[in-house]
Structure 1
């Protein structure tokens, strides 16, 4: 009795932080229940039988019979679904006089067994993670899911040290090949798991890692001496026992060092009692591994194997093949005195104590409402994303190829190998650069690869731990031949062991992604481009050149990455309100379609598209679609170049317009300063309808000024099948010079200043503005979808139209700039003409938010940015920075929700666009639409405050 009291005390409190229980009350309850049970009912408590929620009614009725007649102590669930399992558990628990312990073997989450449930990384993937706090969080998450499904056990952690890469049954179920890797992660997992008052189970004792035999089929031999076993296999158990591990599962192994009689470890008194209990001092609950496994079942008949397991010292007999026979065998042995009352009560009272500890004094039915939703809560995505990002392992990186830099010099291709999809990988790669997918390429006929600076090879295997992941000979040849021709980056989304025989000597960089899913693929792509660090380390050896612990730490280089809202301190439930606001705008026909992007801390946390290109609803908006950015051109195309020129002392804030643009000499505009021009304090008129002077009496383009086809005299394309006379920009500049200039010099927004800045930039760079902006910025930061005149690079189907023009061009404006003045300049102007996706815009805004640094490059100094973001004339009633729009003062009208900080900056555009960044909240917000389609007469988008309302939600979602 003294020994049992010690056991109950251990159960009541552990170093892993399980909640304390009243030991006296626990003992009283255990004794009371035990004393009410008959001997047969006590023996029934020893059985934990297999249950399947995907089987028929006959299976359920057979379990009901075991509950009612054999009084079984527990259930271990296998395949099925969560709602079916919950209903089945409720039904069976209602019939049990003593509530049953319920468990599942879900090592990477419930999804190992159940559909419609969540999948966490395999243990070997976690073995690459160096942040043990994250492993602890996995334990907490799995425990919460276990508890939600009415269970007390999810059998783990796996303590097997997978020293043998040919191990057919453990493999990626193990944390790694060293005792330290396994122990540290198992300890962290158990701490988190048992903190939720759910029991962890170390398995498979005494260690199944260094074997080449699957115990499901026959008995593996672990033929090492006691010194090796104590030093390696038993090491994690001893450590976790010290920390309060609740339970252990005994494997079916042949362990000659401790059991010389070829008795399976699960049936061996020498192993279970003498080694585990007495030598190692373990007092927790002891499970057998499944007794239907051939390693045990081949040794003794059903019933006999259960009796032997109990005599060996096990407390709970898992997956008995014949409970009635087994119960009879144990009862006969008890009656014959072979099993003492002390032995029986020791295990039964231990089982009852665990029931008390887990709150099973009375069963509370599992609530099935929202069960699937709860088991797949978004918080698990938050954790999974962090885990995979931390696991990504750069095992090789010749000449520091990764992360890719100098994107303007890169031309990148991607080739998929394997038998599973790499769509998420390719899509994420294309968030950073234009990547060409190579298809239908043979190992012996690769074609001309000289055009590519690097080829990324993605090796994708079905995310299943039981399947072989080895490369075929043809795939190895492909890797060998590709790496001989060009720089290659091999990214493996498979078991690390799959790389053992792959020719890696010529590969320039190797990234081990471990698993083939969205989280791993997106994380690997971000490592390649430096949006996140490469921090993982190999938990096992691939070969002699890539041994356990290999991992090159690659740095992040301030490129926009991807995260979840919660991981960046935002409430995803609040942020999701954007959906309804955007959809309302679509439904009310404020605009046919919308793109919205939110980034925080340099990570995109929200990116969605809504609606269609037009109201005929034929083409849905995609995140990769390219919108006419309208006046966002000012701060995304023209201003960055001016900022750079200022930083290089090519222009000053007090530089005069007459000096910058010769056409303004000898006009009343010549003394306007650079600062006043960009802060809209120059007195310039808002705009000039240049196109109206080019219309004939019938309001159609004047034939003397336009041609419907290209000629050297009419070289500048205005829209499809419309070209304007050569040199007409000079006429536009003349009109600006002759325009009325206000003498008040008060704030008045004007396009004209930026139109003239195009002339200034081109005169200094000796090439067109679009080429300057691209070479200096867009191509360098990977904003490869941002361009002027997008039809020169992209299909018209990815560009939403902006208007049905019935006043000037008399055509559908699609792929050509909406702004008439910019169109007359060939689609390239200082105030309009730029096209791009929300992600492109966000990259430029992030560059500003970083005060001139992006992708490892510095484009301009911090002081320079601050000079342009200063609200120079705020005291005079203006809210403008130098080029940037700024937020309105509280209580007044303006471009923002009124919630942005005064250090924030951005711009809005006529076609229904907005880009805004806030340094104080480390926030970027982009809204793109084509609200001008089919016509721009009424700006309902602005009247409906759609952009502002979304921005308000974004700020409301910020928690910290």
Structure 2
């Protein structure tokens, strides 16, 4: 390799290193600080480099540095070869990349840079991220949505993310943000690309976006000066006229550009517009020295790169020709000539104007110096720093943008959010890409779905369906278009609403441009609420579903005027009803690396055969930050556990069913904890020592009951089931299933109650845990409600909360494969217990008991515990009175007895108890024999659920306690929380 070749190879290596293909800026966090201003020595180095490069360039090559030629990385080798030829022979200064893919883009950039005498400045229109040009890439929200969210911190962070994304691909300049004020709803080219129609708000948003992009080390480019917002023509096709006065330009259109300049934008794009008040000659603004020099340079004080809009656009190209239009833009003051179509001829034409004296050499040098200075900071002197994984921050920001942008424009009779979910919900979806909305709704409630691709199909097919007038309806319309054609992609959507029952309660959701409402003001009587969600993306749908269900407040306001009814700034606030929000650790500032310790604890436990698998749900402040499943249903060829698997809750039944039912009955004035069993269930205790036992003593385990009775042993003879008590088939009085092919007499529970009251009391009044009182409470709930305990809690608690897996007798509702097996019962039922309650006594009750028998997944149990953390409320509705929840979840007889009424509590010292030592004393919950536990901490707002089948295949496996698996997981949660709160 000769010296010249070696020098070129070395230059290319450092060029690639500096361009961002290998290194990039640190991801911006909420506390991210901009880089310090460069010291004087850096400026000197910059001057030295610029002067050195200038000295190597001929006059034509200096002119060529202003040329930014269009390139498509997906157009094939011939196109790339032609572009590379321009780089090599014409010495152009930059490339703007259009359609392609990540891999071929990076290959093309490297190919072009290797042929460049001076590093190329690489640009891209990436207004909603590189997905605007590259296929297969996830996109950011549109500026219209970001403006509607109206959170400057989020806007800056999303700008930073866009900058990092560009930087990672070797893109130095993002032609973003759009600084136009969308003053004309009929604007065919700006619209959803603008932040809104309020100049002051647009100015703030533009500045925030600029800061984010620039802090990532990427050149931002605000466009389209002097303001493209108030036009009804597309400059790609013809020259639009903006008839604003100078004063209107200065008080409206210029504000965002001035704000962006103050925020540090390094480039401004000038539009192809006819602006008579600024330049009466009729010269397009992109070719007007008056517009560029008088207004942009002098009036606004801009000293950076001035960039022409694409010079192939018909607004200018058809009138002036491919070469002349480039020369005019250059002479007018554009430093970068974007998308020139005939590069050699244009360079020659500009050179001839230098020779003729029409253009001074000093002007050429000034243009070239500005371009080289930009390259110095974007490429040559770019710092090398580490880069974090952008995905978690990116997802969080996007979710929050869609959440905050969501706006309610109609909500009669407080239709939203939906509080109680025990009414039929019918959803009618119209459009494409609708699944994310469906799936999140299903997480909250049982919903009947109808799906149609067009309004016409919906109208035709709905006429064939008998719709229930008493149901709650949701009709969601989905548009993947944002422009005005075909009613913003929605078509004749409103006609679908005419088919709904007149007296129904309907929520309309528009996933797309809310300008579809421009001509609408009146709706059918059934339409009680309307939500605008701006875009038809999965994150937008997911957040909207949560809002409808009441998981968070909706405070969005319109960032543009829709019509006389829905003006700028309009929006109806919706208050959350306390339901769990599906969220992420990052939303609460929790360190995901710290939470990975939970994965490690579970992995070690599964390896040690503590349990085959488990589910964990953690919610903090009502936000679900962990919803995970681990392992398998059984050790041998088991199915992988999912969040939808259902576990036997064991003794958690005591709080999730019996205690909750008693609190509901107390709310209805049908229960008093001071009552004794003689008042509650006289038929079963009259004349026995049990008659005087008070409910509060029974529920706090200090009534002197023996801990447990092995009822099943009394039903066996010589190790076999007594055939007078059991049958192998469901027939006659043998109709209560105990397990597969085992049915017990339907009244044997009476014998069990008789056995209890014949068992002497211990005489102790101190705390001693016992299951037995719940047999009586089971009967009291039945007698008082007039229905089985399973029916009562389902009707009064689970259905209103939308709990779909929490149930007794799961085999009647779910496929067996969805239910996690428990123990292989070798003594009593002599089979694998799968879908039947593990507890023998509860099984002998037919699977519905007060102390055991309830099944659920972790998510539904967490939702129930959140309901209790919310003091028994769903929005404004009180299912359980707040004071009753407070009473039952408080310690009743501390310090001698830690228990609440029905609920377990931490030990008084917090140490050596059922919880880790970081919980607050107000914490309440319960554990279950099968390896389950749940704790709710009102003070720290922590909701923790852990479900497992540690009893598989043998209930004598107590490794879960010996290894403190559940308390150690709880400890990690609290340590992560306290660490976040100290930041």
Same fold (TM over 0.5): yes
Match of 1:307 among 310, 313, 327: 327
The answer for the alignment partner of 2:938 in structure 1 is 919
The answer for the alignment partner of 2:430 in structure 1 is 417
Report the aligned-residue RMSD: 3.4
The answer for the alignment partner of 1:434 in structure 2 is 446
Number of residues paired by the alignment? 935
CA distance 1:563–1:300, shift in 2 (3 Å): same
Gap runs ≥5 in structure 2: 1-32, 453-457
CA distance in structure 2 between the partners assigned to 1:466 and 1:500 by the alignment: 11
SS in 2 for 1:276: helix
The answer for the alignment partner of 2:497 in structure 1 is 479
Give how far 1:476 is off: 4.0
CA distance in structure 1 between the partners assigned to 2:519 and 2:461 by the alignment: 17
SS in 2 for 1:415: strand
In terms of mean alpha carbon deviation, does 626-635 or 534-543 score higher? 534-543
The answer for the alignment partner of 1:7 in structure 2 is none
The answer for the alignment partner of 1:704 in structure 2 is 724
* 1:849 and 2:869 correspond: yes
CA distance 1:836–1:446, shift in 2 (3 Å): farther
Contact residue 413 and residue 452 of structure 1 kept, 8 A:
no
SS in 1 for 2:650: coil
CA distance in structure 2 between the partners assigned to 1:268 and 1:430 by the alignment: 58
SS in 1 for 2:616: strand
Match of 1:46 among 66, 70, 74: 66
* 1:493 and 2:511 correspond: yes
Q: Over residues 620-669 of structure 1, what are the superposed CA-to-partner deviations in whole Å (9 max), with x where a residue is unaligned?
A: 43323332211111111111233345567765555444444433344344
CA distance in structure 2 between the partners assigned to 1:860 and 1:78 by the alignment: 60
Q: Over residues 674-707 of structure 1, what are the superposed CA-to-partner deviations in whole Å (9 max), with x where a residue is unaligned?
A: 333223233322221212222344513x332234
The answer for the alignment partner of 2:8 in structure 1 is none
CA distance in structure 2 between the partners assigned to 1:678 and 1:577 by the alignment: 36
CA distance 1:25–1:191, shift in 2 (3 Å): closer
The answer for the alignment partner of 2:20 in structure 1 is none
Contact residue 269 and residue 306 of structure 2 kept, 8 A:
yes
SS in 1 for 2:320: coil
TM-score, structure 1 as length reference = 0.89
CA distance in structure 2 between the partners assigned to 1:932 and 1:436 by the alignment: 37
CA distance in structure 1 between the partners assigned to 2:117 and 2:580 by the alignment: 59
The answer for the alignment partner of 2:708 in structure 1 is 687
SS in 2 for 1:431: helix
The answer for the alignment partner of 2:472 in structure 1 is 454
* 1:381 and 2:395 correspond: yes
Contact residue 240 and residue 273 of structure 2 kept, 8 A:
yes
CA distance 1:545–1:505, shift in 2 (3 Å): farther
* 1:624 and 2:635 correspond: no
SS in 1 for 2:370: helix
Contact residue 418 and residue 471 of structure 1 kept, 8 A:
no
Match of 2:926 among 896, 907, 910: 907
Correspondence 1:758-837 to 2 at 5 A: 758-805=778-825, 807-809=827-829, 813-837=833-857
Give how far 1:311 is off: 0.6
The answer for the alignment partner of 2:339 in structure 1 is 319
Q: Over residues 35-91 of structure 1, what are the superposed CA-to-partner deviations in whole Å (9 max), with x where a residue is unaligned?
A: 524323322321223344445555555555544544433333333445654565456
The answer for the alignment partner of 2:19 in structure 1 is none
CA distance in structure 2 between the partners assigned to 1:365 and 1:80 by the alignment: 27
Contact residue 206 and residue 259 of structure 2 kept, 8 A:
no
CA distance in structure 2 between the partners assigned to 1:95 and 1:748 by the alignment: 84
Q: Over residues 228-249 of structure 1, what are the superposed CA-to-partner deviations in whole Å (9 max), with x where a residue is unaligned?
A: 5445434433454455543210
The answer for the alignment partner of 2:15 in structure 1 is none
TM-score, structure 2 as length reference = 0.87
CA distance 1:787–1:957, shift in 2 (3 Å): same
The answer for the alignment partner of 2:239 in structure 1 is 219
Correspondence 1:288-307 to 2 at 5 A: 288-307=308-327
SS in 2 for 1:788: coil
In terms of mean alpha carbon deviation, does 802-811 or 675-684 score higher? 802-811
Give how far 1:393 is off: 0.8
Give how far 1:527 is off: 1.5
Gap runs ≥5 in structure 1: 1-15
Contact residue 212 and residue 220 of structure 1 kept, 8 A:
yes
CA distance 1:809–1:461, shift in 2 (3 Å): farther
The answer for the alignment partner of 1:880 in structure 2 is 899
Contact residue 239 and residue 314 of structure 2 kept, 8 A:
yes
Q: Over residues 473-502 of structure 1, what are the superposed CA-to-partner deviations in whole Å (9 max), with x where a residue is unaligned?
A: 675432221264622211111222344567
CA distance 1:186–1:468, shift in 2 (3 Å): farther
Give how far 1:401 is off: 0.7
Correspondence 1:582-597 to 2 at 5 A: 582-586=602-606, 589-597=609-617
CA distance in structure 1 between the partners assigned to 2:491 and 2:380 by the alignment: 59
SS in 1 for 2:443: coil
CA distance in structure 1 between the partners assigned to 2:41 and 2:607 by the alignment: 65
The answer for the alignment partner of 2:598 in structure 1 is 578
CA distance in structure 2 between the partners assigned to 1:434 and 1:630 by the alignment: 25
CA distance 1:530–1:160, shift in 2 (3 Å): same
Match of 1:838 among 858, 867, 872: 858
Give how far 1:349 is off: 2.4
The answer for the alignment partner of 2:289 in structure 1 is 269
CA distance in structure 2 between the partners assigned to 1:363 and 1:447 by the alignment: 64
CA distance 1:396–1:872, shift in 2 (3 Å): closer
CA distance in structure 2 between the partners assigned to 1:553 and 1:641 by the alignment: 34
